[in-house]
Amino acid sequence: MSRRLPFAPLAAAIGLGFSLITGSLVAPSAAHAEGEIRIAEQFGIVYLLLNVVRDQGLIEKHGKEQGVDIKVDWTQLSGGAAVNDALLSGSIDIAGAGVGPLLTIWDRTHGKQNVKAVASLGNFPYYLVSNNPKVKTIADFTEKDRIAVPAVGVSVQSRFLQYAAAKQWGDKEFNRLDKYTIALPHPDATAALIAGGTELSGHFSNPPFQDQALENPNVHVVLNTYDLLGPNSPTVLFATEKFRDENPKTYKAFVDALTEAAQFAQNDKGAAADTYIRVTKAKIDRAALLKIIDNPQYEFSVTPKNTYPLAEFLYRVGAIKNKPDSWKDYFFQDAKPLQGS
């Protein structure tokens, strides 16, 4: 008999070493002038570029090059729904989340706030993992299983699951597995899956959490998103048109900082691993982390890759109302990224 999940203490108990910081999100603040930027990130290696930007003070550096002293505020959230709400409430200026939440908010604000992506954070395979030996494919999940995702129905993991379901059973059944999903931050979901003994038997994860879970012999891969879609950019940064237009120097400093961080992370994986551990305070072995990010399938880049198939799918099944003609419709067309898909 399964027991209910005492999620909050699990990550700490298992030594994953993450905290949820809400800081500036208590009360929205009004629009501000050049020289301030508020950034929301989530959990995992996919946010390493932001860790580098923060650690090296790159936004401040590129701001000074334009004659602007920039104050940077960092916030950590879990789930695309929370991130989208924070952006629309005016609590943050730059949102870090999956392509799923991006497309949801792009569609919702089309012709209004006009939220679009600023850049990709890189290309990474995401794994759906399970500790249930009976679950070999997504078709094996039953009403007895629960699958953790950052945000039910909105997160890119939820959208990947829907994409896989449509491929398995047809577009009309795209949300067939939604009823088995629950919202849970990656650190807590990983801890619960490793510990076992709860109704949680699946976790649509991201690195390094999926890799930590797979160190447990009871956990295995059910679905790899690279098998589903090919190499792709699952996580992006996005902002409102208003912030971009009213803060051109701050915005450019952010894009330039991110571009420099991508070059740093891609060219020096060891230093990137040290940065991740230092900034996130993650309790992960450096050698194990370096092994993860040195995977040739990982690419730290601001240029989006293969995001459009998911956008086209969401329009096809009615999850978004506006059909983008290409990736350029939901990305701001800046000098960087130069090309994408």
**What average pLDDT is seen over the chain?**
89
Confidence check: pLDDT of 32 > 70? no
Query: CATH for 23-124+233-329, among 3.40.190.10, 3.30.470.20, 3.20.20.70, 3.40.50.720?
Result: 3.40.190.10
Judged against a pLDDT cut of 90, whether residue 8 lies above it is answered with no
Structure tokens at 298: 């990982």
Using DSSP bridges, classify how beta strands 36-41 and 71-76 pair: parallel, antiparallel or unpaired: parallel
What the block records as the tokens of 122 is 């890189």
Distance CA 242, CA 247 (A): 8
The angle that helices 58-65 and 48-56 make with each other, rounded to 10 degrees, is 60
| Structural domain 7-14+125-229, CATH architecture | 3-Layer(aba) Sandwich (3.40)
In the predicted model, is pLDDT for residue 183 greater than 90?
A: yes
Number of neighbouring beta carbons within 10 Å of residue 318: 9
Sequence letter at residue 268:
D
> Residues of CATH 3.40.190.10 domain(s) within the chain?
7-14+125-229, 23-124+233-329
- Find out whether the peptide bond into 208 is cis, omega within 30 degrees of 0: yes
pLDDT tens per residue across span 85-131: 999 999 999 999 999 999 999 999 999 999 999 999 999 999 999 99
Q: Cα torsion for 235, 241, 243, 245, to the nearest 10°?
A: 130
Quote the DSSP letter at residue 319.
S
